[in-house]
Structure formats: structure tokens, C-alpha cells
Amino acid sequence: MSGKIMEIDDDSFDNEVLKSDVPVMVDFWAPWCGPCKAIGPIVAELAEVYGDKVKFAKVNVDENPLTPSKYGIRAIPTLIFFKNGESADKITGMVAKAKLENSIKGLL
């Protein structure tokens, strides 16, 4: 995992995401999820490019059930893009890098 992607949990979610002064992309994932593993390197590439303007975070849904439940996560991977503490965009499933990049640019 890239040094620019932080692992967050139910306890740190509010501080790291909702109270962040920069936009945040949160990847809801699980270690057993094939598509989650496939999208991981794409997220890492985007973190390298946009990591100075956007915070990148991952939430393991198996270890942190409260946050995914709060945001209606029914399938993984689901990526939610937050700006000013609000959900601005949501993508579920394995998608092209360009689609993720467009969502990130929409936050800036």
C-alpha cells in the first residue's frame, strides 16, 4: 500500500474524513475481495499524482462495520469522495482509472 493512503477505522473516520480540510477519497474494501485487490494499484497511482491535494483513505469493512453501514455500502469496492464533510460522489465496483480520476478532479 502506498504511503499516501491511510488506513482508517470507525473511530478515526470523523476526524480524518468529515473534518478534513482537503477532499478525501475513501476506499471501502476487504482483504478477501478480488475487485478490491484489482482496484488497489489504480488507487495507489492516483494517490501518487493527487496526494498533495486529496487525502486517500481505506476502510476495511470487515473490521469496521459502523461506517460502511452509515453510508449504505452494500458492495465492495465502493469509493466515496468527500468534500467539506459531505459525500460528493460514489463509485461501486471495478472501474477504469479515468472514471476515478474524473471524480477526483470534480473535488478540486
Residues known to be catalytic? 33, 36
Would you say the C-alpha torsion 2, 33, 92, 99 has a positive or negative sign?
positive
Residue 7, H or E segment: strand 5-8
Query: Where would I find the beta strands (DSSP E) of 18-103?
Result: 24-29, 55-60, 78-83, 86-92
